[in-house]
Amino acid sequence: MSISAEMVRNLREQTGAGMMDCKSALVEAKGDAEAAREILRKKGLATAAKKAGRATSEGLIGTYVHAGSKIAALVEVNCETDFVAKTADFQTLVKDIAMHVAALSPLYVRKEDVPAQVLEKEREIYKAQAASQGKPAAVAERIAEGKLKDYYASFCLIEQPFVRDGKLTVGQLVQERIAILKENIVVRRFVRLKVGEALASEPPAE
Protein backbone atom coordinates (compact mmCIF):
# COMPACT_ATOMS: atom_id res chain seq x y z
CA MET A 1 0.00 0.00 0.00
CA SER A 2 1.30 3.47 -0.88
CA ILE A 3 1.64 5.95 1.97
CA SER A 4 0.33 9.38 1.02
CA ALA A 5 1.64 12.68 2.30
CA GLU A 6 -1.77 13.33 3.85
CA MET A 7 -1.59 10.10 5.87
CA VAL A 8 1.83 11.10 7.17
CA ARG A 9 0.65 14.63 7.97
CA ASN A 10 -2.42 13.36 9.85
CA LEU A 11 -0.32 10.99 11.96
CA ARG A 12 2.16 13.77 12.72
CA GLU A 13 -0.68 16.04 13.87
CA GLN A 14 -2.00 13.28 16.14
CA THR A 15 1.32 12.30 17.70
CA GLY A 16 3.77 15.17 17.22
CA ALA A 17 6.37 12.68 15.94
CA GLY A 18 8.74 13.57 13.09
CA MET A 19 7.66 13.17 9.47
CA MET A 20 10.12 10.36 8.74
CA ASP A 21 9.16 8.52 11.94
CA CYS A 22 5.48 8.80 10.98
CA LYS A 23 6.13 7.53 7.46
CA SER A 24 8.21 4.60 8.73
CA ALA A 25 5.49 3.67 11.24
CA LEU A 26 2.80 3.80 8.55
CA VAL A 27 4.90 1.61 6.23
CA GLU A 28 5.44 -0.89 9.03
CA ALA A 29 1.71 -0.83 9.85
CA LYS A 30 0.74 -1.19 6.17
CA GLY A 31 -1.18 2.07 6.25
CA ASP A 32 -3.17 1.37 9.42
CA ALA A 33 -3.09 4.72 11.26
CA GLU A 34 -4.03 3.26 14.67
CA ALA A 35 -1.39 0.54 14.41
CA ALA A 36 1.17 3.15 13.30
CA ARG A 37 0.34 5.26 16.33
CA GLU A 38 0.88 2.22 18.58
CA ILE A 39 4.25 1.59 16.92
CA LEU A 40 5.27 5.18 17.63
CA ARG A 41 4.04 4.86 21.21
CA LYS A 42 6.13 1.74 21.80
CA LYS A 43 9.19 3.50 20.42
CA GLY A 44 8.40 6.36 22.78
CA LEU A 45 8.27 3.93 25.70
CA ALA A 46 11.70 2.58 24.79
CA THR A 47 13.11 6.11 24.52
CA ALA A 48 11.54 7.13 27.83
CA ALA A 49 12.98 4.07 29.57
CA LYS A 50 16.49 4.97 28.39
CA LYS A 51 16.16 8.54 29.66
CA ALA A 52 14.48 7.75 33.00
CA GLY A 53 16.59 8.81 35.96
CA ARG A 54 18.36 11.63 34.14
CA ALA A 55 18.30 14.87 36.14
CA THR A 56 15.41 17.23 35.40
CA SER A 57 16.25 20.59 36.97
CA GLU A 58 14.59 22.83 34.36
CA GLY A 59 10.98 23.09 33.23
CA LEU A 60 7.87 25.20 33.60
CA ILE A 61 4.96 25.89 35.90
CA GLY A 62 1.74 25.86 33.90
CA THR A 63 -1.70 27.13 34.80
CA TYR A 64 -5.22 26.51 33.61
CA VAL A 65 -8.33 28.44 34.66
CA HIS A 66 -11.64 26.94 33.57
CA ALA A 67 -14.33 29.12 32.01
CA GLY A 68 -16.14 31.01 34.77
CA SER A 69 -13.00 31.12 36.95
CA LYS A 70 -14.38 28.62 39.47
CA ILE A 71 -11.78 25.87 38.89
CA ALA A 72 -8.05 26.25 38.30
CA ALA A 73 -4.93 24.11 38.26
CA LEU A 74 -1.22 24.75 38.73
CA VAL A 75 1.31 22.12 37.62
CA GLU A 76 5.11 21.85 37.60
CA VAL A 77 6.65 19.79 34.80
CA ASN A 78 10.42 19.37 34.67
CA CYS A 79 12.84 18.66 31.83
CA GLU A 80 16.61 18.59 31.46
CA THR A 81 17.38 21.90 29.74
CA ASP A 82 15.99 25.40 29.49
CA PHE A 83 16.16 25.02 25.69
CA VAL A 84 13.52 22.27 25.72
CA ALA A 85 11.45 24.14 28.31
CA LYS A 86 11.06 26.97 25.80
CA THR A 87 9.85 24.75 22.94
CA ALA A 88 6.23 24.83 21.80
CA ASP A 89 5.91 21.04 22.27
CA PHE A 90 6.93 21.22 25.92
CA GLN A 91 4.80 24.28 26.66
CA THR A 92 1.78 22.62 25.08
CA LEU A 93 2.37 19.50 27.18
CA VAL A 94 2.45 21.56 30.39
CA LYS A 95 -0.75 23.40 29.46
CA ASP A 96 -2.49 20.14 28.55
CA ILE A 97 -1.55 18.55 31.87
CA ALA A 98 -2.78 21.60 33.81
CA MET A 99 -6.08 21.46 31.92
CA HIS A 100 -6.33 17.73 32.62
CA VAL A 101 -5.78 18.27 36.36
CA ALA A 102 -8.57 20.86 36.42
CA ALA A 103 -10.92 18.54 34.54
CA LEU A 104 -10.29 15.17 36.24
CA SER A 105 -9.16 16.17 39.73
CA PRO A 106 -6.44 13.57 40.48
CA LEU A 107 -5.29 13.13 44.07
CA TYR A 108 -1.71 11.96 43.45
CA VAL A 109 0.91 12.36 40.70
CA ARG A 110 1.73 8.65 40.40
CA LYS A 111 0.69 5.40 42.05
CA GLU A 112 3.87 5.32 44.16
CA ASP A 113 2.60 8.48 45.88
CA VAL A 114 -0.53 6.81 47.28
CA PRO A 115 -0.04 6.35 51.06
CA ALA A 116 0.29 2.73 52.16
CA GLN A 117 -2.61 3.08 54.60
CA VAL A 118 -4.90 4.31 51.81
CA LEU A 119 -3.97 1.35 49.62
CA GLU A 120 -4.49 -1.12 52.48
CA LYS A 121 -7.90 0.35 53.26
CA GLU A 122 -8.97 0.11 49.60
CA ARG A 123 -7.61 -3.45 49.35
CA GLU A 124 -9.56 -4.56 52.42
CA ILE A 125 -12.76 -3.01 51.05
CA TYR A 126 -12.36 -4.83 47.73
CA LYS A 127 -11.56 -8.13 49.44
CA ALA A 128 -14.60 -7.78 51.71
CA GLN A 129 -16.81 -7.09 48.69
CA ALA A 130 -15.50 -10.20 46.92
CA ALA A 131 -15.90 -12.32 50.07
CA SER A 132 -19.51 -11.17 50.44
CA GLN A 133 -20.12 -12.60 46.97
CA GLY A 134 -18.80 -15.98 48.10
CA LYS A 135 -15.39 -15.73 46.45
CA PRO A 136 -12.55 -17.82 47.95
CA ALA A 137 -9.79 -15.88 49.71
CA ALA A 138 -7.27 -16.37 46.90
CA VAL A 139 -9.77 -15.19 44.30
CA ALA A 140 -10.77 -12.22 46.48
CA GLU A 141 -7.10 -11.24 46.69
CA ARG A 142 -6.76 -11.26 42.88
CA ILE A 143 -9.97 -9.27 42.49
CA ALA A 144 -8.70 -6.69 44.99
CA GLU A 145 -5.42 -6.27 43.11
CA GLY A 146 -7.33 -5.80 39.87
CA LYS A 147 -9.54 -3.14 41.40
CA LEU A 148 -6.50 -1.30 42.74
CA LYS A 149 -5.48 -0.77 39.11
CA ASP A 150 -8.85 0.90 38.57
CA TYR A 151 -8.20 3.03 41.66
CA TYR A 152 -4.86 4.18 40.23
CA ALA A 153 -6.52 5.02 36.90
CA SER A 154 -9.11 7.09 38.75
CA PHE A 155 -6.94 9.04 41.17
CA CYS A 156 -3.30 9.03 39.97
CA LEU A 157 -2.50 11.68 37.34
CA ILE A 158 0.04 9.62 35.40
CA GLU A 159 -2.34 6.62 35.25
CA GLN A 160 -5.46 8.57 34.24
CA PRO A 161 -6.72 8.46 30.63
CA PHE A 162 -5.78 11.79 29.07
CA VAL A 163 -8.84 14.03 28.98
CA ARG A 164 -8.31 14.98 25.33
CA ASP A 165 -7.59 11.45 24.12
CA GLY A 166 -8.80 8.55 26.23
CA LYS A 167 -6.75 6.10 24.15
CA LEU A 168 -3.61 7.06 26.04
CA THR A 169 -2.81 7.88 29.65
CA VAL A 170 -1.15 11.07 30.84
CA GLY A 171 1.97 8.97 31.43
CA GLN A 172 1.93 7.80 27.81
CA LEU A 173 1.43 11.40 26.67
CA VAL A 174 4.58 12.36 28.60
CA GLN A 175 6.49 9.42 27.13
CA GLU A 176 5.54 10.49 23.61
CA ARG A 177 6.96 13.95 24.30
CA ILE A 178 10.15 12.41 25.72
CA ALA A 179 10.61 10.58 22.41
CA ILE A 180 10.05 13.80 20.44
CA LEU A 181 12.09 16.18 22.61
CA LYS A 182 14.90 13.70 23.42
CA GLU A 183 14.97 14.64 27.11
CA ASN A 184 13.65 13.14 30.32
CA ILE A 185 10.40 14.79 31.43
CA VAL A 186 8.87 14.48 34.89
CA VAL A 187 5.56 15.73 36.23
CA ARG A 188 6.69 16.99 39.64
CA ARG A 189 3.56 18.24 41.41
CA PHE A 190 0.20 19.92 40.99
CA VAL A 191 -2.45 21.88 42.85
CA ARG A 192 -6.15 22.03 41.94
CA LEU A 193 -8.36 24.82 43.27
CA LYS A 194 -12.15 24.99 43.29
CA VAL A 195 -14.09 27.95 44.64
CA GLY A 196 -15.88 27.07 47.88
CA GLU A 197 -14.01 23.81 48.38
CA ALA A 198 -13.09 23.29 52.04
CA LEU A 199 -9.42 22.95 53.00
CA ALA A 200 -8.31 19.85 54.90
CA SER A 201 -7.49 22.08 57.88
CA GLU A 202 -10.95 23.66 57.94
CA PRO A 203 -13.86 22.27 59.94
CA PRO A 204 -16.83 21.03 57.88
CA ALA A 205 -19.52 23.61 57.13
CA GLU A 206 -22.51 23.66 59.50
Residue-by-residue DSSP string for 134-202: T--HHHHHHHHHHHHHHHHHHHBGGGSEETTEEEEEHHHHHHHHHHHHTS--EEEEEEEEETTPPPTTS
CATH code matching the domain that covers 58-110+156-194, chosen among 3.90.1640.20, 3.30.479.20, 3.40.630.10, 3.40.50.2300: 3.30.479.20
Assess whether pLDDT exceeds 90 at residue 1. no
Range of lowest pLDDT (9-13, 51-55, 60-64, 168-172): 51-55
Contacts of 110 (CB under 8 A, 6+ apart): 156, 157, 158, 159, 171, 187
Give the three-state DSSP class for 13: helix
pLDDT single digits (tens) 48-82: 666 767 778 899 999 999 999 999 999 999 999 99
Going from N- to C-terminal start, the domains of the chain cover: 5-51, 58-110+156-194, 115-153
Percentage of the chain beyond pLDDT 70 is 87
What is the pLDDT confidence band of residue 29, given thresholds at 50, 70 and 90? confident
pLDDT of residue 20: 77
Interatomic CA distance for residues 1 and 148, integer angstroms: 43
Give the CATH superfamily of 5-51.
Answer: Ubiquitin-associated (UBA) domain (1.10.8.10)
pLDDT of residue 116: 93
pLDDT of residue 179: 83
* Of residues 44 and 66, more confidently modeled: 66
Mean pLDDT of the chain: 87
pLDDT of residue 202: 56
Q: What length is written for the chain? A: 206
pLDDT of residue 63: 96
pLDDT of residue 21: 78
CATH 1.10.286.20 fits 115-153, yes or no: yes
